[in-house]
Chain A
Amino acid sequence: MTDIFLQAFVYLLAAVLAVPLAKRLGLGSVLGYLVAGVAIGPLLGLVGQETQSIQHFAEFGVVLMLFLVGLELDAKQLWQMRQRLLGLGGLQVLLTTAAVAGLAFALGQPWQIALALGMILAMSSTAIVLQSLNEKGLAKTEGGRSGFSVLLFQDIAVIPILAILPLLAVGAPATEASHDEMSLVAGLPGWANALVVLGAIASVVFGGRFLTRPLFGYVARSGLREVFTASALMLVIGIAALMSLVGLSPALGTFLAGVVLASSEFRHELESTIEPFKGLLLGLFFITVGAGIDFAMLLSQFALVLGLALGVMLIKALVLLLLARLFHLSGSDKWLFALSLAQAGEFGFVLLGYSQQQGVLGSELGALLSMVVAISMFLTPGLFILFERVILPRVTRSANARETDTIDEQGPVIIAGIGRFGQIVNRLLRANGVQTVVLDREYAQVERLREIEMKSFFGDVTNPELLHTAGIASAKMLVVAIDDVDGATALVRHVRQHYPQVAILARAFDRGHTYALTDAGADWVVSESFHSALTLGGEALTRLGMHPFAAEQRKTAMLEREKAHADELYQAWREVRDNSDRRKRYLELFMKLEAALKDDMGKDRMAGHSRSLSGWTPPPRGYEKALAADEEQTPPSSPA
């Protein structure tokens, strides 16, 4: 037990120290994790043997990541990608395999080994690439999307490659016991195997579409956050297990589930629930890549390993550049596509291990290639930096006008809380063509809105992750209308602190809450009851016999009076908050406001000096005689 705690602490400490530093230096988190891994592994020797097994566990981060990627894509978008997916992805795998295999064959390797090497090295690192693309905001660019298509195709291609590798074995399989993993399809004839696989996929699609909604609805209504987290994890792990059982890639299965759930109202809540797990596991994965580098071997064969890694990356980049040309990627997109996918990836590790088990590759060659794969992954963040610092500025300079064309798919206005209050705001904005993203933690509210075909999402808005996935970073405005006094204040404070460019309009419950929200940094606050109470008060005055126009003026006067004293009362409120002795002073001010109001209402403009009550009052009696008298004294100048 103590061991596990110690290990976990070492891993976490390394990440906590290295990642923010790397991020601050503009190197990206991935490089930070890799360096952290190198530090605790080969350099300090704090961790060692266990990295292999931890890495297998951490690979689950990739599964979670593909689930999240799926959530961002709905079926329609996926269908639109089909050309890129098959064309770009297929050609990348085929051409890279051919190029690497051809070179290996030319260097004297037997064709079986050459082909195996080609397939292994054709894979890129989904984990590093997607993480870096997202982190640098490049995922939505043409180059980023193309890269993603290729990675997705590679995920699919792993399945046939795993089937082909054993056929390439020249020697006897290294270990006999490679097949004691559980499997539903072991020993089945080909057609039955295919049926089972299709059935598994169909059940993911069908279940995702029809079973998850009632399930999540049921869980969400209980209002227990951790149970929702549990059910989200259950879903992903369950699908991963099912896919493993039928011999498919778990990442592919969860990706599919993500796509199916992309149009559901739980999308944002699922994203924000899974996100931290994904982040931690991926981080762990990167650390193990760093920690797994065998320094002794690296040093003894430094030139060879580095040369091979650079060679592989060069070949892959050249193939990718060719494809970019074929698929009309240009400018920065071409370079992003080519540089981002040039490394070998974590699937390479998997395939290497499998090849050794199957006797395709000798253990020495396997160890050498593991090193090559790891080094090429290690160099990838460097390529992203090269892209960002050198290529992007150059291309942008040459095509300045074109590059700014980024599409934001999130709404410019986020409405937090869609109860009685937020709904009205939302309807007004929508009716005027403003795109909104609506969030609420009451599942019933979301359900009701979905019934009338308003796009809304379920989730706890005070959770920063949910806000993030809803697109707060690119939003113009946040409307805070949640039914939770302290939550609203905390939300305003959080958004003001982290997203200073977002305008915050907030609904307050009462006077104190108005001040609290203002204090937290809201740009504009309205009391939820003040205006409706004013309307009712005006109606009461009218029904008691006051002329409706006069009642309207009195409402306006009250509003003006409030505004005039708002600052003073706010300052007093702050003093009371900081020092409760001042409570008396606040009450005094409040009484003063009331007295001033009453005073205003009693006067008309001519008789007294009311600053608030504006309205028509007749001129004094006899004024016309005075005017006539003036006229006699001074001869008229013609006004025409």
Chain B
Amino acid sequence: MTQANSAQATNSVLLLFAHPGQSGSEVCLPMYRIACDTPGVTCVDLYAEYPTFNIDIQAEQQRLLAHKVLIFLFPLFWYSTPSLLKEWQDLVLEYNFAYGSKGDKLHGKPFLCALSAGGSEASYSPAGYNHFGLRTLLSPLEQTAALTGMDYLPPFALFGARSAAEEGRLAPHLERWQRLLDALVAGTAPNPRTSLPNDRASLVNDWELLFNDKAALMNDWEGLA
């Protein structure tokens, strides 16, 4: 049920990009452009497609059916997605499509949040001014994935986004992003439910193997095991 057709086999990843102020975007927009140039990734600029928030539910559901992997790419606004992406969730993830007795259309699809955050990594901790870890703050999305039967992947985040470029952190991030996309298209990305055993040590190991880079590790995965 989850696979649409073979014609979509090369376009297996669906990336929904939500950024309402793209002229001020330094992280997400370059990430989006990279994704657009990656074979096998269908890229959707939600704010371009629905500037008046008039989301075509039918078309969006068809798009979901036609892809194996779902990515949200967005700047973190007030610990959540920009409003249009929230509207997309509210409207598209319908009863008996995404959840409910017949709502199995998303079952088994890996789901990744790729985001930029203004605060530093340290601020997203009990001691920091954001007080919560990123994973805790994104728990509504994680639970949405759980209820819709999607496999929730560790969020792919760049912290301190406003200073990332001048501090030289942007270029390596974009490089890792490219590799992550390729791995998702190829189906070789780690999946916490299927390809990863239920213990944190080996999960960390897998991300390390993938990116060969400790900085890409997400800092808040205790709860998964």
Contact = CB atoms under 8 A, between A and B. Distances in A.
Contacts of A631: 123, 128-129
Nearest to A606: B24
A230 B120 CA distance: 87
Contacts of B48: 547-549
B72 to A, nearest CB: 17
A616 B162 contact: no
Contact of B129 (A551, A628, A640): A628
B133 to A, nearest CB: 13
Contacts of A615: 20-21
Given A550-B23, A636-B131, A619 B120 contact: no
Q: Which of A619, A631, A639 has the most CB of B within 10 A?
A: A631
Contacts of B122: 628
A630 interface: yes
Contacts of A640: 131
Nearest to B25: A618
A137 interface: no
B162 A547 contact: no
A602 interface: no
A390 interface: no
A618 B20 CA distance: 10
Interface in A536-552: 547-552
Given A547-B22, A550-B22, A624 B162 contact: yes
A616 B120 contact: no
B123 A627 contact: yes
A639 B122 CA distance: 18
Contact of A624 (B26, B45, B49, B119): B119
Interface in B199-221: none
Contacts of A548: 47-49, 51
Contacts of B24: 604, 616-618
Contact of B47 (A549, A617, A628, A636): A549
B123 A624 contact: yes
Nearest to A552: B51
A24 interface: no
B188 interface: no
A536 to B, nearest CB: 15
A547 B84 CA distance: 15
Contacts of B128: 628, 631
A187 interface: no
Interface in A623-640: 623-624, 627-628, 630-631, 636, 638-640
Contacts, number: 68
Most buried by A among B49, B82, B129: B129
A549 B20 contact: yes
A618 B129 contact: no
A622 interface: yes
A621 interface: yes
Contacts of B123: 624, 627-628, 631
Interface in B14-42: 20-26
Contacts of B82: 616
Contacts of B49: 548
Q: Which has the most chain A C-beta neighbours within 10 Å: B24, B122, B160? A: B24
A547 B47 contact: yes
B52 interface: yes
A308 B49 CA distance: 86
A419 to B, nearest CB: 27
A624 B118 contact: yes
B96 interface: no
B33 to A, nearest CB: 13
B163 interface: yes
Contact of B119 (A616, A627, A638): A627
Contacts of B23: 547, 550
A623 B131 contact: no
A590 to B, nearest CB: 29
A600 to B, nearest CB: 16
Interface residues of B, number: 26
Contacts of B162: 618-624
Nearest to A636: B131
A247 B23 CA distance: 88
Nearest to B117: A624
A628 B120 contact: yes
Nearest to B159: A624
A620 B122 CA distance: 19
A40 B21 CA distance: 84
Contact of B51 (A551, A630, A636): A551
A163 B20 CA distance: 89
Contact of A617 (B21, B52, B77, B118): B21
Contacts of B21: 615-618
Contacts of B160: 624
A44 B93 CA distance: 88
Contacts of A638: 131
A615 to B, nearest CB: 6
Contacts of A630: 129
B22 A624 contact: no
Interface string B154-168: 000000101100000
A557 to B, nearest CB: 14
B105 to A, nearest CB: 28
A621 B129 contact: no
Contacts of B22: 547, 549-550
Contacts of B47: 547-549
B36 to A, nearest CB: 14
Nearest to B83: A616
B189 to A, nearest CB: 30
Contacts of A621: 162-163
B119 to A, nearest CB: 5
A623 B120 CA distance: 11
Contacts of A639: 131
Contact of A627 (B25, B51, B129, B163): B129
B178 to A, nearest CB: 24
Interface in A129-184: none
B19 to A, nearest CB: 8
A94 to B, nearest CB: 69
A197 to B, nearest CB: 65
A547 to B, nearest CB: 5
Nearest to B26: A618
A627 B162 CA distance: 13
A619 B52 CA distance: 24
A549 B51 contact: yes
Interface in B143-163: 160, 162-163
Contacts of A551: 51
A616 B129 CA distance: 23
Contacts of A636: 129, 131
6 contacts: A549-B22, A616-B21, A617-B24, A621-B162, A627-B119, A628-B128
Interface of B: 20-26, 45, 47-49, 51-52, 77, 82, 118-120, 122-123, 128-129, 131, 160, 162-163
Given A616-B24, A616-B77, A628-B122, 8 more contacts: A549-B22, A549-B48, A549-B51, A604-B24, A618-B162, A627-B129, A628-B123, A628-B129
- Top 5 nearest A-B pairs (CB, nearest first) are A616-B21, A631-B129, A552-B51, A549-B47, A618-B24
